[in-house]
Amino acid sequence: MESLLLTIWNDVASHEPIASKLEHLRQSLGLQVPLCQLQLFQLQDEHRLTRVACTGDGAANGAASNLEIPGVAAWCRTGDMLETGGGGRTSPMDRSFASLHSGVALVCPLRIQDRPVGVLLVVPESRVGLVPEQRQWLEAVTLPLAVILERHLEARARDALERAVQVDQQALGQRLGGRTEDGRIVGAEGDLRPVMERIGLVGDSDLSVLLLGETGSGKEVIARAIHEGSRRCGAPFVRVNCGAIPAELIDSELFGHERGSFTGALSQRQGWFERADGGTLFLDEIGELTHAAQVRLLRVLQEGVIQRVGGHDAVPVDVRIVAATHRDLAAMVAAGSFREDLWYRVAGFPIHIPPLRHRPNDLPALAEHMAWRSAQRLGLPLVLPSAEDLRLLAAYSWPGNVRELAAVFDRAVVLGQGKQLALVSALGQALPSGSVMESRPTESNPGMPDQAFPTLEQVQRAHIEAALVRTRGRISGPTGAAALLGLNPNTLRSKMRKLKVRRVEFGGWTNDGQ
């Protein structure tokens, strides 16, 4: 038996697929316990099993790979080997296992230190089952087989995590539309300069930062810039979307959990705080946290330790907090929906990120970058925006900010198919109500450099162009630009000639605007 166990334990350390290891086990046991088939199941929760591997006669017989057996986890914790298919057994567990194979079979619980891991279904060659000595051989191999199963599940979880990281990196490349290929932030020397100056002031400290700005204005780009400019730049940067975490999972997501702490907790899991240890934790949309979650978060920020769900030990964590929200946290504090003490913790150094409509000097560089980025990502020839394109973009208010700009260029590149940037069509497909432009900020923006005040002619031209985009170039009729602007169609045409608004920019419509 010692020789057999040594062979099986060697399989534990090998890198072969689990199906191969199961076949080695069947062959190694063959002299002592002649076997037709082995089926290995992973314990999913208290009542469900999923087949992981099957070897031997009929291994690909199409048997169900998922089983729902009431109480299977409880039996697996403390139960002994049971025999199915021998007649006289009528329990749901017996019937469920018997459905996997006709004839006699034995079911062995797999556990590690009384912790259930899975189940081994054994189909012997003998139609009358196994003698006691053969059962002892099977019982002896359950522990190494449980370890094999657990390591297989851990490896599969690591592979899934790596795939998730790759997907997240691809999504990140799409989200961070305001950064060039070499990592520079578009507008850092323009309208974003005051923001970059504030990043320089706070970057190398551990002071918590609160980023305030509209949705899509680039808060994650700025958060990463803060991390990369700090002494923590070599440690993890972890982003958590607080608004996307269900209230019942907030503790597990932020602080982690211990194995067995709740149904489905089959392994220990580190929370976001532990994953960001030594680095920066970006709490995006912190204003969406429930009141209970705010209390638990405040305690961690005050004490610098976490406690995993189901755990008893305090785990110290060293993280720098960067929070972000598009909501008015000060008003939420006044209304009692956001804790005042948490506000003081996260708002150590607030930074306001201006919306795109207040960054007119950055728009040409952003447009050129988005054109390049969309063409590269979609595999189409690069077409850079023209002066007329830039005037059209400046005439729109961009309620979705840089994120919306990226989406518009994706559409424009696809519609233009490498021959042109179809920005008129791209904008016209998704113009929300009330989006007609503020062509330029009409009053100075606090913290922003003074901008040239637009002339009345520039404002009129931009407003007419925005109306033509909204109506897809139609002038007359109830859905035309003239009706939208409250003008007679002939008056609008006259103004367009005076302001040199060319008709072909908006779809090449005829002289009557149809």
Q: Is the dihedral of CA 504, 508, 512, 514 positive or negative?
A: negative
Q: What is the pTM of this model?
A: 0.54
For residue 262, what pLDDT is reported?
Answer: 65
Which two three-digit tokens encode residue 198? 């504030």
Answer yes or no: is pLDDT of 283 > 80: yes
Window from 243-247, 320-324, 491-495 with minimum mean pLDDT: 243-247
The structural domains of the chain, with segments of one domain joined by +, span 2-155, 202-353, 358-442+454-506
Q: Which CATH class is domain 358-442+454-506?
A: mainly alpha
pLDDT, residue 104, reads 80
Residue 130 pLDDT exceeds 80: no
Q: What is the pLDDT of residue 445?
A: 43
Region 386-408: mean pLDDT is 90
For the cut 50, the answer to whether the pLDDT of residue 135 exceeds it is: yes
Query: Which one of 81-90, 247-256, 262-271 scores highest in mean pLDDT?
Result: 247-256
Question: Is residue 5 scored above 80 in pLDDT?
Answer: no
Of residues 355 and 513, more confidence is placed in 355
In this model, does residue 273 exceed pLDDT 70?
A: yes
Domains 2-155 and 358-442+454-506 share a fold: no
Output the CA–CA distances (angstroms, integers) from residue 366 to 49, 162, 426, in the order listed: 52, 32, 17
- Confidence (pLDDT) at 507: 45
What is the pLDDT, as a whole number, of residue 219? 92
- Among 53-67, 125-139, 162-176, the range with the most confident prediction by mean pLDDT is 125-139
- The owner of tokens 């907030």 is 250
Long-range Cβ contact pairs of 98-104 (< 8 A, separation 24 or more) = 99/64, 100/39, 100/63, 100/64, 100/67, 101/37, 101/39, 101/58, 101/63, 103/127, 104/128, 104/129
Q: What CATH architecture is 202-353?
A: 3-Layer(aba) Sandwich (3.40)
* Cross-strand pairs, 43: 49
Look up residue 495 and give its two tokens.
């103004």
H/E stretch holding 124 reads strand 115-124
Q: Could you report the per-residue pLDDT of 475-514, keeping only the tens digit for each?
A: 888 888 888 888 888 888 888 888 887 654 444 443 333 3
Higher pLDDT residue, 253 or 247?
A: 253
pLDDT at 147 (0 to 100): 87
Confidence of residue 13 (pLDDT cuts 50, 70, 90): low
User: Domain 2-155: what homologous superfamily?
Assistant: GAF domain (3.30.450.40)
pLDDT at 443: 40
Mean predicted lDDT score pLDDT of the chain: 79
Q: How far is CA 391 from CA 367, 448, 463, 469, 499, in A?
A: 11, 22, 11, 12, 13
Residue 453 has pLDDT above 60, yes or no: no
pLDDT at residue 449 in the model: 41
For the purposes of burial, counting CB atoms within 10 Å of the CB of 290, is it exposed (0-12), middle (13-18) or buried (19 or more)? middle
pLDDT for 211 equals 94
DSSP-derived secondary structure for 107-118: EEEEEETTEEEE
Q: What is the pLDDT of residue 441?
A: 42
Rounded average pLDDT over 178-187: 67
In whole angstroms, what is the distance from residue 44 CA to residue 27 CA? 28
**pLDDT band at residue 255, thresholds of 50, 70 and 90?**
confident
pLDDT of residue 503: 54
Q: So what's the pLDDT on residue 493? A: 87
pLDDT (0 to 100) of residue 432: 44
